[in-house]
Chain A
Amino acid sequence: MDLFATALPALADAWALILQPLVLGYLVLGVVMGLAVGVFPGLGGIAGLSLLLPFMFGMEPVLGLALMIGMVAVVPTSDTFSSVLMGIPGSSASQATVLDGFPLARKGQAARALSAAFTASLFGGLVGACFLTLFIVVARPLVLAFGLPEMLMISVLGLSMVAVLAGRVALKGLAAAGLGMLIGTIGVADAGGSLRMASYDFPYLTDGLQLVIVGLGIFAVPEIVSLLRQDQSISKNASLGAGWMDGVRDWFANKWLSVRCSLIGVLVGVIPGLGGSVVDWIAYGHAVQTTKDKSNFGKGEIRGVIGPESSNNAKEGGGLVPTLLFGIPGSGSMAIFIGAIALLGSGDIEVGPAMLRDNLDITYSIVWLLALANVVGTLLCIGVSGGIAKLTTIRFTYLAPFLFMLIAFAAFQSGQNFEDILALFAIGLIGIFLRRFDWSRPAFLIGFVLSNPVEKFSNQAFQIASFRFRRSFEEGMDYIFSPIVIVLLIITVVSVVLGLRQAKTIMAEGDVQSGSKRAPIVFLLVIMAYVVTALLNANAIPDYNMTDKIVPLVIGGITLVALLILLVQMILRPEGNTIFADKEASGEDADAPYGLWGTLAWFASLIAATYFVGFILALAGFLVVFLRVRAQAPWPKTLILTACGLALMCVMAGALNRDFPPGLLQDAVDLPWPLH
């Protein structure tokens, strides 16, 4: 009980620190700034926090913490806007939300989906804070119990969610996940430094592809293109049916799901090294498996929104444990947070093992500032959600150019290379075809996200296990089959078995009609060609760098086998079988008034023009031409909208101190910002 003797006074001190008008004022300021940054996809907390850094120097610690936490806390809340309304995953925390949130928006229930998501976020954040208050003082041994084999098993558990999301043809889901993993291995290998599907002559790929780009390419580009072709509003009949109170009621009806997913969020968040990338998928899988009637998932099931949203804010709280107790950041924004804490006050708060002993009151302040920021952020978000949801009733042709603008800018921010935008386009093409032929895009993304953890943890765990085995057999077995590993193994097996049984009813792409044989087979052969190339490329790595080649070889091999079986099935089965699913055969894509390539050419033209004259000039031309020609807008409207778009970009980039992609023109002539 010694623990409580120190913890309770510290908790009281923390509340005394927090509950000052000035502190709360800074918190609200941080929340508002975080919302402003967070509603734009792909920027997230890192951009916002680095903006705050210069002001942290010497600032009163609790004020600085309030400002920073206010900003970090609302990003997983505010990114829900773009996930639900536009089908654009705002950050890695809200990828799973897209699956059911966006279909709800298309049904005209955006406000309902948003308020359910926000309520779930709020609740998740509070559950996380309560749990952490008790847990943080005893968390250290548990965190240390998670060694490499345990982390590998958590990653595998995340991968097993592919089974749930594989779609109607399980092999296609498996192959999509394998392809995602292979694409995730592109670049310099972590372990031995070998190059995979990359070359120093083309340095861009040596760093691998960024998650922001893959997330936007796989989810956002296909949806934007498809909606633009149909030339209507996001909400199919341009109306907003359910209001925001319905969402709150939905959440209340599913409160236990929300509790469970919040706990999943905290616990997975606590484990260092995994970050938040798997949490929302595990929560989504859990939501699917605990729902009796699974037929609505992927088509607008509210539980598919509540599950991941409950977990992603709770995860932020969990992520504080490795950050504060071990000084190991769970995410990019946490890394900046650690750096900023060292700048605060006289610089004597140092995160790490001493944090609990010397600064327990500060630790508790951080936990509860996070919870408070969640409350403030959620209330603000719910307040504006009704208004923002109206975006879904606007004719999409007026939204699309601005979305192209935003995703191109977001992609460029991830690495500040022109190639970032090209990569977005290329991944977008893959996304378009995965969607068209009903290959599970979530499976692809899960594969991509988990590619690096699986490879890293399996290599490292293997090396340490063989080191232990050399000492004694028992020691090795104890290491690999710890109780935690065995429990995780059982959960994984159960989830795969259940998942495969259920997958057929969960159609992430809706009920896709089947078409002729030719197009699906051509797509399959293209994927196969890539997989074979990647296999040959990995095989060419010398054997002494086995750690760099083994994972691509195994994953590529499994994917190739899956593709070969699919090929045989395609040859044998008659036309009209579900295996030949093709959105262009019938349905809204096939009936759309505009073609795929013509629509995609608009986006391509923006990229091409950027290459020549730089982003801002290209954007000005693009917006004018698009609005005049495609949207047939009158001149005054065209000019006003163009000016608004340009102003938005400049204000955002100016405030965040970001550059725009330069073109050939900028190489030749010196131009003033924002043109340079």
Chain B
Amino acid sequence: MTIKTLAASAATLALLSAPALAEVDFSGKTIEWVIPFSETGGSAKWANFFAPLLAQELPGEPTVVVKFMPGAGSTKGANWFQEQEYEDGTMLFGSSGSTQFPYLLDDPRVRYEYGDWIPVMATGTGGVAYLNPEDGAKFDGSANGLQDVNLIFGSQGATGLDLVPLLAWKLLGMNVEPVFGIKGRGDGRLMFERGEATIDYQTSSGYLSGGAELVEAGTAVPMMSWGALDEDGAIVRDPTFPDMPSFKEVCAATEGCETEGVAWDAWKAFFIAGYPSQKIAFLPQGTPQEVIDTYVAAFEAVRARPDFAEISSNEVGQYPMFVGEGAVKATKEATTVSPEAKAYVIDWLKDSYGVTIK
């Protein structure tokens, strides 16, 4: 290859790629991905996984660094992001179920509005509940045999992601007493393994790395997965756990549990906010369309990597990664709840756990 043809092909390449990249180039820039949690949480892991992949796909291959702004259960960071406006496209924000729930429940600390932000990517997860062997023997695909059993559950708090299992068990008519104040689902599993807790749940990756081991050893009996959303927004079996009934199936089989009505809608709304669209990446308000498109294209390229399924198995598993329009739709589902469903959950939190959100 002569120098001349090299130059020519370089020029052609530049011309070809020019229309897409003309306006946005991040060469030499540093993109800050702000996470409203500490370095030690699941969102940190999530952002750290995507940051180097995103950096490779953005035009100009900028450096993507993850910054942490923990405080007030992530509302501090989200309130801060609400104040930010588009400058040069070098800022990204990551929200999680713990940011979405206070928003849905009208927490007084919330000064942010999801409608103002521009979602570019969303990922989700699922969850699996399991019982100790003694009480698990009474489970037959329905919770009818578990009505008079008292169970104990290590919980991180009724207003976080644990809201979904607690409400599910309540709808099934089970007596589950939460022990509040643990830090992380790993602590909950440990409490279960020590025999102090008798029922537990894990998110999908937590179940695969820890809970499944217990089931194999015979010290835990799987009960159900929360399920997953299909194209039409209906709840179906979780593709990661195809042999496990979804909560919807168990509810249908259990006397007194309805798969429609206000209670069911409330559960479903919070399930969607907490699991299938759990973690969302946002650009600040005022971001111009070409910058949005650049990010969407970059995340699409990440998703299209041939090795993506393999390297992402810990982070996204079998669940769809939403990009662009998909992320917009997922965000809408995760941050909308009917007033009736909201009122139902707020009342239930108050009656059962004395939690008031004022």
Contacts and interface: CB of A to CB of B under 8 A. Distances in A.
Interface of A: 46, 49-50, 53-54, 57-58, 144, 146-148, 190-193, 200, 203, 206-207, 272-273, 326-329, 332, 335-336, 339-340, 342-343, 346-347, 350-354, 415-417, 456, 459-460, 463-464, 467, 470, 542, 544-545, 547, 657
A335 B181 contact: no
A467 B44 CA distance: 36
Interface residues of B, number: 54
A328 B177 contact: no
Interface stretch (B66-74, B89-97, B256-264, B321-329): B66-74
B311 A203 contact: no
A456 to B, nearest CB: 5
A351 B205 CA distance: 12
A209 B191 CA distance: 27
Interface string B178-220: 0111101011011101111000000000000110011000000
B289 interface: no
B79 to A, nearest CB: 9
B354 A339 contact: no
Contacts of A545: 354
Interface string B38-50: 1111001100110
B48 A339 contact: yes
B332 interface: no
B84 interface: no
A415 to B, nearest CB: 6
Contact of B181 (A200, A206, A207, A460): A460
A335 B179 contact: no
B138 interface: no
B152 interface: yes
Given A417-B71, A460-B181, 13 more contacts: A46-B39, A53-B48, A57-B53, A193-B159, A200-B108, A203-B109, A329-B40, A332-B38, A339-B48, A343-B49, A353-B214, A464-B196, A467-B177
Q: Which of B44, B310, B354 has the most chain A CB atoms closer than 10 A to its own CB?
A: B354
CB-based closest 4 A-B pairs: A335-B40, A190-B181, A544-B354, A339-B45
Contact of B179 (A200, A353, A463): A463
Consensus secondary structure, chain B interface: mixed
B157 interface: yes
B86 to A, nearest CB: 14
Given A200-B109, A273-B187, A467-B177, A193 B52 contact: no
B355 interface: yes
B12 interface: no
A332 B39 contact: yes
Given A191-B181, A273-B187, A415 B71 contact: yes
Given A415-B70, A460-B181, A328 B209 contact: no
Contact of A54 (B48, B68, B191): B48
Given A203-B72, A206-B72, A347 B52 contact: no
A353 B210 contact: yes
Given A54-B52, A415-B70, A415-B71, A336 B40 contact: yes
A329 B68 CA distance: 19
Interface in B304-356: 310-311, 313-314, 353-355
A416 B72 contact: no
B51 interface: yes
B354 A192 contact: yes
B76 interface: yes
A328 B71 contact: no
A152 to B, nearest CB: 12
A418 B76 CA distance: 14
A347 B311 contact: yes
